[in-house]
Every structure is written in C-alpha cells, then in structure tokens.
Amino acid sequence: MCLLCTVNASAQVRRQGFEKQGSFNASGGAVAFAKRRHEVRSAPVNPAFHVVSYALDLNLAMENESFAGRNRITLVMKSAADSVLLYQLALRIDSVSVDGIQLPFREDDAAERFTVRLGSVREAGDTVRLTIAYRRFPGIPRASDRLGYYYFHDTIPGLPANLGYTMSEPSDARCWMPCYDEPWEKSTSEISITVPAGYAAASNGKLLGIVDNGDGTFTWHWKESHQIASYLMCATVSRFAESSRMLARAPGDSIPVGYFAWPRDTAATGAFIPTVEQMIANLEKLFGPYPWDKYEMACVTPFAYGGMEHQTITTIHEALQTDQDVVVHELTHQWWGDLVTCGTWPDIWLNEGFATYGEALWHESLGGPVALRGFMQSQLGFNLGSWAGAVYDPEGQGLYLFDELVYTKGAWALHGLRGAIGDSAFFRSLRAWRRLHSEQSAVTADFQAAVESVTGGDMSWFFNEWIYGPGWPVYAASFVWGDATLTLRIAQQQDPGWPVYTMPLQVRVYTGTGDTTLTVRDSLRTQDFSIAFPVKPDSIVLDPDGWVLHQPGKPIAAPPGPGSTLSFSLMQNYPNPFNAGSTIAYSVPGTVSKSAAASGVRLAVYDILGRSVATLVDARQGPGEYSVRFDGTARASGVYFFRVEIQPPGSGTLTAVRKMMLVK
C-alpha cells in the first residue's frame, strides 16, 4: 500500500512519516486524517479450527454508516473443542446459529473477540457452519481511527456521490464483519452487497450477477474462489461507472482489467488501462502468470492512502488513479501480499518491501539499469531515523507497523539480495517463493528457505544482517599498487552496534585506458584484498552500479603494498566493552610480496578460567594486516582473553594476549 500526506486532489505520495493505519473523521463537511497507533492484537497462531469459507450478505442503505449484515462461516475443526473464538469490534451481534441451531455466545469487547458455544464437543475433522446476524449503526462507541467501514455523504465538497468503502489492514475486518481476523488464516469468500438503484458495489473475485430486488435495490454478488485473507476482503460502493477491457492471457482465457470510477474520471481511467495491461505483462515475465480472475481498481476520495491492495480489486485514491508508481505498487501486491501473504504482522516487509521493489522493477522495464539505479537512489533515499531499525518486526522495536523502513529499506534489502546472488537466482527465488506458498501465508524464514532452495547455500549471512539486523554499512576504501598487484583495503565504519556486513562488493578500477569491474567478498571491519592487476590504477569506486544500501565513510590510510615491511602486533578489540560482537586486528610480520613465505597463525579466545571458547583463526597467512570478528551473542557476560600465536618461517613463535569485556 502507498501512503499519502494529504487527502485532497493535489495529494502527493509520501512514504516518510505516515504509517499505513489511518482513518477519516468527517463532520460538517470537513475531513481530517487521524493517525493510528494501536498495536495489532492477535490470537494464538494455531486455533482449533480452519476457516473454509465466508458467505457475507451486506445491506447498505447508503444514507449513513449503518448497515445490516449476515456472515455464514464454514469451519473445519483441527482439534476437539466445544467453542470457537472469533473477532468483532463495535458491532451489534443479534444472533449466532451453529448448524442451524441458535446458541449462546459471549463477547469480550476489550479483547475484540467473542466466543461461540458449539453446543457439544466437535472432533477434529468435523465441519461446523455458523450463521451470525449483526448490525452496525451510529451510537455504538468506536474509535474514529478504527472504523473498518467508512461512509462519506455527498455534502462533502468535491464528492460527487455518497461513498462507502472498507479498509481493514491490519486488523479491522472485525470492524465490519465477524470473522477470524488474522493474516495467516485464508479461505474462500462470497460477498453479496445490496444497495439502492444507481449504485455500483465492487468486491473481490468474479461478479456472479446483479439481481433487481424489485424494491428499488439491487444485489451485487461477488465470489472469490481463491484463498484470501480477511484483511484483503472488501466492499466499495458509490455511483460508479465501470471502464474495463478484456486482457487475453492464453487462447480462450481472458480477464477483465479496469476501473470502477466516477463518470468525471472515466475518460482518464479508460485511457490508462493499456498501461495497466503493460504493467501486468511486465510483472508476469518476472513473477509468473497473474494469479487471479480479474484486476480492477475502485477509485475513491476521501482516502488516507495512495492505495490498498484488496485481492483482485485495489482501492485507490482518485487523485492517484493513474499514477504509475502507485498503480504498479498495488498491482505487485497481487503476487506479493495477496497470492503469498505475510504469515504474521512482524513479517509485513514481505508485503510492502516487495511491492515497493515492484515500482523499481517497473522503472527498470521502462528505462533499463540507469532508471533502476535512479529510482533506488532518488525515490528510496535514506531515512536516517527509523532505518536504524531492522526491517523485521517494526512494532517490536517501538515503531509503527507500517513504518517507512518496511517499504523502502525492505525494497533495498531485496535489491541487495538481487545484487548478491545475481538476476537469475533472484528471480528464480521469487518463482520458488510463489511455487512453495501460493495462496498461503508464509514468514520470513520461509522466504529465506525459498532463496536457499535456489542458491543451494545457507543465506543466514544475508538475512541476519539485512532483515533481522539494524542499520546499514558505511564503506571507506583505499588502495596501493605495485609488483603488478592491486592491494585494496575496505573498512566498514558503521555504528559498532550494527552488524559487520558480509557482502559481495563490486569495485570499479579506473586506469588511463579504461575501467575494470572486480567483485570482492567483504566481511570484516577492515579487510585487505590482493588482486593481480597489470596496470597502475588511477582511482577506484565501490559499488558503482548501486546494488548495496550504504553510505560513504571517512578516508582511511592505504594498506601496506608490495615491499612494505610489517612488524608483529595484536590490537585491542573494537568495540570494548561490547554486547554482541567485536573485531580483533593483528599483523603478520614480514615484507609484503607475492613470494613472501606464509606464517602459521592461530588466534583463539579464552574465558577467565583459561578454557578455550572459540578458535577464530587457524591458518597460514602471508605478511599483512588482518582482522576477524568474535561473535559473543551466545556467550555469557564477563571477561575474556584473546591470544595470537604466529610462527614465522625459520624463527620462534610470537605470542600476544589482550583482555576484552562482554557486557549484556
């Protein structure tokens, strides 16, 4: 979903500073945006049942925010139970029937839930059919920032007709229908919406029919036969006109692509449909076939957002209904967020980071690598505030669930993954992600496993740093040349509490006759690389094509080049004291050259009783400066010692010991 900083016709997309949650307060013709700060309230991940389907009937008079509803919910029991727990908030439950028998229920308004008694113990595998009749009307206290269903009268300036729509993410489906309101629970859905004549009622899936009820009302019957999460279900109603075209996917297979819009907008939206079809075609090349039976957009205002990716039918701000970035963002969600849905709200970056990167991929399709790099650097530039956090679980870090970092830093994480493993492996990983979890919900660990199924290796080095870790790298580099060898030094100067990043880094080396691009695997606070290079370089540039989110650091001293003579040394670890990891640097003595003999090097860490707890180096190394990282995350607080032993060829052993303090 995209976010807005204003709600009028001159609205501009803005990611910084506004969380996805929000609502309008409308009174006296004025509309104001109300930020939401509530935390997502979730039930246990493994309830006693699975929701098979919802069949929802809504009757909207379109005169105020009130409506009547009936939800028929089919469950299959996963374990024996005599009751089930569902969600509702600020609705008036009139009755609950279980398999046709009216039974008691108990509401817990503070927990936003209600318990339905089943009348007897139902065993695993049993099918249970609930029918819940309910109403929503003014007078029931409800938070203005959690309405779920939003109604606006045409007395609001600029609004051409009465408007009602639902907006549920993350946990407000319960505000307009009783349901099991969790992202990991998917089902099929049918929504029948009865409205006055002249109104169009848009919803998910296929339109099965429009029935004239003979009383001045019509019922629009929609069915989503694919799996859908409750927060992706929707109803949008106004005096819309529909603009659409049939998009052929294969011989005999086509889907409608179009808009529900007010008549004043249909010329613009109709003219934009070919661009939407072009977007679908481009994303299909990258992600596989479009997964649903249609793609439509319902254009609304007032609306606190750029768009919301309701499955098969995006709700989009009227002012942005043909904005390419907003449209392609929500369209990308149809694969990433709808087809594969984040399994828990801490995994929200799997929805929003992917959709934001979809914008970048669209720009790349239009303008190639230059456009891709320009979008990443200009549109997704640094937020030096919240980006210090991890992409995973923003609420657990005291941030908003839809903080800007899950959008833009999440997109940068995907861009960096693509740069690290290459285009082929990256897009094959997305296809594997889809294949393994289509029409399901999944978590970050599942995405890592999908990537590993393609790359064939452990990707923890990437996910621990870029998804679960804070911050970003700050790189500085220097070099010397001699003896047909380029000696390159790369330093990571980011906050000591942030990870030391392991990344394949491109280095572009410029000479008087051209340039050469090399790739090194950088993994230490300070790391030297010796590379055969026959021509003296003029300059170097790190990450010239912009694959890695980073900032430039302060200038650093050049590394020892060929002919330099080094003495033996063991530096104090940095930082010290430390609470996670710390870097240890040392020098192997001798004259740096291609033919220099290697020394035996052993560097180990000991606890205060002299017991070895880690061997960090046990190898032969030539003369040079080296560093290694000690990971203390699984160690107890206290004093530790690190000892280096170097055995140069033909001489005695050189030994040094230093003390360090681990504090948690």
Residue 640: CATH number of its domain: 2.60.40.3880
Q: Note whether residue 628 is domain-resident.
A: yes
Residues 584 and 605 in one domain: yes
Angle, helix 410-421 to helix 349-378, in steps of 10 degrees: 80
The domain boundary residue, chosen from 410, 434, 466? 466
Integer Cα distance of 173 and 39 in angstroms: 15
Token pair listed for 217: 């009302």
| CA–CA distances in Å: residue 513 to residues 13, 536, 538 | 45, 10, 10
Q: What is the pLDDT of residues 466-477, one digit of tens each?
A: 999 999 999 999
Q: What's the pLDDT at 234?
A: 98
| ∠ Cα 581 587 590 (to 5°) | 165
Residues 354 and 450 in one domain: yes
In the sheet where 514-522 sits, what is the strand order?
A: 514-522, 503-511, 539-542
Q: What's the pLDDT at 579?
A: 86
Q: What is the chain's mean pLDDT, rounded? A: 91
Integer Cα distance of 233 and 477 in angstroms: 51
* 8 Å CB contact between 547 and 506: yes
Q: How many helices (H) and strands (E) does the chain have?
A: 8, 41
Integer Cα distance of 230 and 333 in angstroms: 15
For residue 173, which phi and psi values (nearest 5 degrees)? -60, -35
Token pair listed for 406: 């899950």
Integer Cα distance of 542 and 476 in angstroms: 8
| CA–CA distances in Å: residue 587 to residues 567, 592, 623, 649, 659 | 7, 11, 7, 15, 18
The domain boundary residue, chosen from 535, 562, 589? 562
* 8 Å CB contact between 319 and 301: yes
**433 burial type by CB count under 10 A (0-12 exposed, 13-18 middle, 19+ buried):** buried
Q: Note whether residue 524 is domain-resident.
A: yes
Q: Note whether residue 238 is domain-resident.
A: no
Beta strand pairing status for 569-570 and 149-152?
unpaired
Q: What's the pLDDT at 103?
A: 92
Q: What's the pLDDT at 8?
A: 31
Question: pTM, whole model, 2 decimals?
Answer: 0.89
Integer Cα distance of 356 and 2 in angstroms: 9
| CA–CA distances in Å: residue 395 to residues 40, 66, 143 | 9, 33, 20
Q: What is the pLDDT of residues 248-275, one digit of tens each?
A: 887 888 999 999 999 999 999 999 999 9
Q: What's the pLDDT at 38?
A: 47
> Total structural domains in the chain?
3
Q: Give 459-517 as a DSSP string.
A: -HHHHHHHTSS-S--EEEEEEEEETTEEEEEEEE-S-TTSPPP-EEEEEEEEETTEEEE
Residues 480 and 381 in one domain: no
| ∠ Cα 576 622 585 (to 5°) | 5
Residues 549 and 581 in one domain: no
Residues 423 and 383 in one domain: yes
Q: Give 573-616 as a DSSP string.
A: PBSSSBSSEEEEEEEE-EE-STTPPPEEEEEEEEETTS-EEEEE
Instruction: Output DSSP code: residue 336.
Output: B
Residues 363 and 450 in one domain: yes
The domain boundary residue, chosen from 520, 539, 562? 562
For residue 11, which phi and psi values (nearest 5 degrees)? -60, 145
Q: Note whether residue 191 is domain-resident.
A: no
The H-or-E segment that residue 351 falls in is helix 349-378
Token pair listed for 223: 């069915």
Residues 370 and 400 in one domain: yes
Residues 488 and 530 in one domain: yes
Q: Note whether residue 216 is domain-resident.
A: no
For residue 309, which phi and psi values (nearest 5 degrees)? -80, 50
In the sheet where 638-647 sits, what is the strand order?
A: 612-621, 599-607, 638-647, 654-662
Residues 354 and 453 in one domain: yes
Residues 512 and 413 in one domain: no
Token pair listed for 491: 């330093």
CB atoms within 10 A of CB 477: 21
Strands (E), 63-155: 67-77, 81-87, 92-98, 101-102, 105-108, 113-122, 127-136, 149-152
**What 3-state DSSP class applies to 276?**
helix
Integer Cα distance of 329 and 306 in angstroms: 10
Q: Note whether residue 416 is domain-resident.
A: yes
| Sign of the dihedral defined by the CA atoms of residues 360, 361, 365, 371, in that order | positive
Task: List the domain range (segments joined by +) for residue 639.
Answer: 565-664
What's the CATH number where 393 sits?
Answer: 1.10.390.10
Residues 557 and 618 in one domain: no
| CA–CA distances in Å: residue 555 to residues 264, 474, 490, 517, 575 | 58, 11, 10, 22, 20
Q: Note whether residue 629 is domain-resident.
A: yes
Integer Cα distance of 84 and 121 in angstroms: 11
Q: Note whether residue 258 is domain-resident.
A: no
Residues of the chain with pLDDT under 50: 4-19, 21-38
Cβ partners under 8 Å of residue 139, min gap 6 = none
Instruction: Output DSSP code: residue 13.
Output: B
Match 């028998």 to its residue by tokens.
101
* 8 Å CB contact between 553 and 489: no
Residues 510 and 440 in one domain: no
